[in-house]
Amino acid sequence: MSTNSEFAVFSGTCSRYLAEKICQHLGCPLGNLNITKFSDGEFAVSYEESIRGKVVFLVQSTFPNSDNLMELLLMIDAAKRASAKSIVAVIPYFGWARQDRKDKPRVSIGAKLVADLLSVAGINRLITMDLHADQIQGFFDVPVDHLYASAVHLPYIQSLNLGENLVIASPDVGGSKRANTYSKYLNAPLVLCNKHREKPNEVAHMQIIGNVKGKDVVIIDDMVDTAGTITKAADIMKEAGAKSVRAMASHCVMSGPASERVQNSALEEMVFTDSIPYSNRCAKVKQLSIAALFAETIRRVMSNESISNQYLV
């Protein structure tokens, strides 16, 4: 796609690596945006080129810390005040989304709060991928293009040529719907893990529902944070006789002891997309780029084409 004066792509600080790859696929330059940081941690955003009358795409994953979200909010506000025709937030990883409902008294619903912040700031559209819960789309009153990492994950699984030995697994019952779509597409058996937590980020007990003996298992999840669940599932499956165990997840949160846990686990490899940058290198971690997927979605939004045929499942 050649440079188009009708739209412009800009990026926040921590998602620039991805925005640059998206622009390469689009054949356009990354827009010139200046973020001035003050000594107390406050920062200000300014566009260094005219965006009057343009459709502005703002690429920024909102993973912690909160500076990434605040940068995006200021980018939206600055674009609105600079007379952009419309503002599209491109958020490959939609952070603060694990609080998506009131599951006990006196708790916040962070996903709804972030949706409200983005709406008040002035977005006209949201492009995101693999939300922690699909119903978060309903928190917005603007169009939401919800993409799926399966577009890059499924071809990778097929490239492994595991044949009839392939088994798809979910690390918990909550992820069974996602894993089931992979299972149906690949015509492979589905195995579930039933886990019990006593506190956040710590699995107390886990059991396998299904047969993995002699099988090549691929565990599917939406994100990996401390890697406690995914590595415990891999270790239990290996103990149950699995020939090999791999894991694939959309978002590489990988906080705290995650890298060490993955490295020391029974996992042969841990495959993510590049929706979040990963700096704590682990020999078992591999990242697949979603730049082409997002670039094609941007192209289709600009040409008013359907994006649904990008979905493999």
Q: What are the helix and strand counts (H, E) for the chain?
A: 8, 14
Decide if 94 contacts 132 (C-beta within 8 A).
yes
Between vectors from CA 114 to CA 112 and to CA 115, what angle results, nearest 5°? Answer: 60
The pTM of this model reads: 0.93
State yes or no: is 184 an active-site residue.
no
Pairing of strands 190-199, 202-209: antiparallel
* Confidence at residue 2, expressed as pLDDT on a 0 to 100 scale: 42
* Confidence at residue 77, expressed as pLDDT on a 0 to 100 scale: 98
* Confidence at residue 97, expressed as pLDDT on a 0 to 100 scale: 92
Instruction: Tell me if residue 282 falls in helix, strand or coil.
Output: coil
**pLDDT tens by residue, the chain, 313 residues:** 444 579 999 999 999 999 999 999 999 999 999 999 999 999 999 999 999 999 999 999 999 889 999 999 999 999 999 999 999 999 999 999 999 999 889 999 999 999 999 999 999 999 999 999 999 999 999 999 999 999 999 999 999 999 999 999 998 888 889 999 999 999 999 999 886 655 665 555 678 899 999 999 999 999 999 999 899 999 999 999 999 999 999 999 999 999 999 999 999 999 999 999 998 779 999 999 999 999 999 999 999 999 988 887 6
d(CA 214, CA 34): 55
Catalytic member of 112, 195, 215, 238: 195
* Confidence at residue 313, expressed as pLDDT on a 0 to 100 scale: 66
* Confidence at residue 206, expressed as pLDDT on a 0 to 100 scale: 78
Instruction: Tell me if residue 103 falls in helix, strand or coil.
Output: coil
Backbone φ and ψ for 268, nearest 5 degrees, come out as -80, -40
Cβ burial 100-113 (10 Å sphere, 16+ → b, else e): beeeeeeeebebbe
Please give the order of strands across the beta sheet that includes 55-59. 7-11, 55-59, 86-91, 125-129, 144-147
* Confidence at residue 309, expressed as pLDDT on a 0 to 100 scale: 83
